[in-house]
Structure 1
Amino acid sequence: MRYFLEIAYDGTRYHGWQTQPNALAVQQVLDDCLSKVLRQSISSTGSGRTDTGVHASQQFVHFDAVQELDTQQAVFRLNRILPNDISAVNLYRVPDDAHARFDAHARTYHYHITFARNPFRRFHAYYHSRSLDVAQMNAAAASLLAHEDFTTFSKVKGDTRHYRCNIYQAVWQQEGEELVFTIRANRFLRGMVRLVVGTLVDVGRGKLTVAQFEQIIASQDRSKSSGAAPAEGLFLAKVEYPEQLL
């Protein structure tokens, strides 16, 4: 029987989502706890990967259980043994062919920049000591919606077959002492959001014009993008599925 599990996590002490040798990953910890609660070996599949230090306020995984589960009870028992930087939120019975990654039709990330030194945000926002030209950053961000090929903002490694993405929203908004970037798309490439943010920050600093930003996208040249923004400011914020699935 297949289930979708909604979770949230603080990625500070993890080497990303995906299980890997000789490093602590969110997936490894989650699978170990699920295996203990369900008394069977569990290998989950996530809706996507997050890098080292990146957080998720909403992430979905699917797994198969040999017995029908009381979803509320399973969530309660799972939260009792999960570490306090990972939380189980909801559990859903889904069709046996449902897939957490392939059935997702949109994903949203948030990136947080703070202009005030705050010790309580040091692992959850990128501290930038100088002001940024938000109007220019938004003008550049809007141009992302006119493009489909984002080779420029992809990591070289990986098994990606193509670099096309449909971006539905890309906007910066001031929220108190923080500047928050929201980007929503059907899919994202490895490292894409942090590379986009790093390059947009250079627009805000006056190092790049909006026209140059567009030329960088069109170049499809990874060497043209700016450095990746720090991991701590990035959150996977929302994963969307067909309404009938959940």
Structure 2
Amino acid sequence: MRYFLDVAYNGTHYHGWQVQQNANTVQAELEGALSKLLRTPIAVVGSGRTDTGVHAEQQLVHLDWDAELDVEQLHFRLNKLLPSDIAVKRIFPVHPKAHARFSALFRSYEYRISRQKNPFLQKLTYVNGRPLDVEAMNKAAEFLLQWEDFECFSKVHTEVKHFRCNIQEARWIEEGDMLVFYIRANRFLRNMVRAIVGTLLEVGQHRMSREEFRQVLESRDRSRAGRSAPAQGLFLTKVTYPDKIYELSDYESDF
């Protein structure tokens, strides 16, 4: 059977999601706990990577098991074993061909900026008290909805076949002392959201015009874009799947 785990984590003390040699990662912690509880080596597949210091309110992962799991007991025991900054919110069975990464339709991120220092949000937001023209930032962000190739916002030397992404939402909202950037797309390139945020902040400080932002997109050149915003403000907030993943019958279906 195939199961999905809905996982949340504070990424401050981890070198990202994906297992790496000589570095502590969220995936390594989760696989280690599962392997101990199920008494056999367990590998899981995540919906996508998050980089060092990036957080997740919803990271979906799948694992396969030969028999039916007692999900309530596993859920309880897993949370007791995992470190305090990683939590499994639920475990549920899915269609045998459902894939945490390839079946995902959309991924949503938020980038959270504190407009003033807040001791309760340390390492969970980027503190930026400089005056920002939010209207100009939103007007520039509209170009993202019209574009397809985002090589200019990708980490260089990354191993991808193409740089095309379909962005459905990209907007800034002021929420009290917080400024939050919401973005949703079918896929994201490595470092893409932080590079977009950093470049839009240039627009907000009137160091880059809306037209110059469009020219950055046209250039496909990472050196033309702004600096990447700090990792601690970025959250993976939601992964959306088709409803058919919850249908458990093993029929032929395209996932």
Distance in 1 between residues matched to 2:187 and 2:238, nearest whole Å: 12
Which residue number in structure 2 is paired with residue 221 of structure 1?
Answer: 221
Which residue number in structure 1 is paired with residue 101 of structure 2?
Answer: 101
Structure 1 residue identity aligned to 2:59: Q
RMSD, aligned α-carbons: 0.9
Matches within 5 A, 1:31-110: 31-110=31-110
1:244 to partner: Cα distance: 2.4
Distance in 2 between residues matched to 1:137 and 1:162, nearest whole Å: 27
Distance in 2 between residues matched to 1:157 and 1:78, nearest whole Å: 37
Structure 2 residue identity aligned to 1:24: N
1:66 to partner: Cα distance: 2.6
Number of positions where the alignment pairs a residue of Structure 1 with one of Structure 2: 246
1:211 to partner: Cα distance: 0.8
Distance in 2 between residues matched to 1:210 and 1:178, nearest whole Å: 23
Q: Show structure 1 runs of 5+ residues with no match.
A: none
Structure 1 residue identity aligned to 2:138: N
Distance in 2 between residues matched to 1:148 and 1:134, nearest whole Å: 24
Which residue number in structure 2 is paired with residue 177 of structure 1?
Answer: 177
Answering whether residue 27 of structure 2 is matched by residue 27 of structure 1, we say: yes
- % identical equivalent positions: 54
Structure 2 residue identity aligned to 1:110: E
Which residue number in structure 2 is paired with residue 122 of structure 1?
Answer: 122
Q: Give 3-state SS (helix, strand or coil) of 1:244's partner.
A: helix
| TM-score computed with the length of structure 1 as normaliser | 0.98
Q: Give 3-state SS (helix, strand or coil) of 1:96's partner.
A: coil
Distance in 2 between residues matched to 1:22 and 1:238, nearest whole Å: 29
Matches within 5 A, 1:201-240: 201-240=201-240
Q: Show structure 2 runs of 5+ residues with no match.
A: 247-255
Distance in 2 between residues matched to 1:146 and 1:106, nearest whole Å: 17
Task: Say whether the 8 Å CA contact 2:95–2:244 is kept in structure 1.
Answer: no
Task: Say whether the 8 Å CA contact 2:113–2:125 is kept in structure 1.
Answer: yes
| TM-score computed with the length of structure 2 as normaliser | 0.94
Distance in 1 between residues matched to 2:65 and 2:42, nearest whole Å: 8
Structure 2 residue identity aligned to 1:30: L
Distance in 2 between residues matched to 1:158 and 1:143, nearest whole Å: 24
1:133 to partner: Cα distance: 0.4
1:158 to partner: Cα distance: 2.5
Structure 2 residue identity aligned to 1:133: D
Structure 2 residue identity aligned to 1:71: V
Structure 1 residue identity aligned to 2:14: Y
1:97 to partner: Cα distance: 2.0
Q: Give 3-state SS (helix, strand or coil) of 1:20's partner.
A: coil
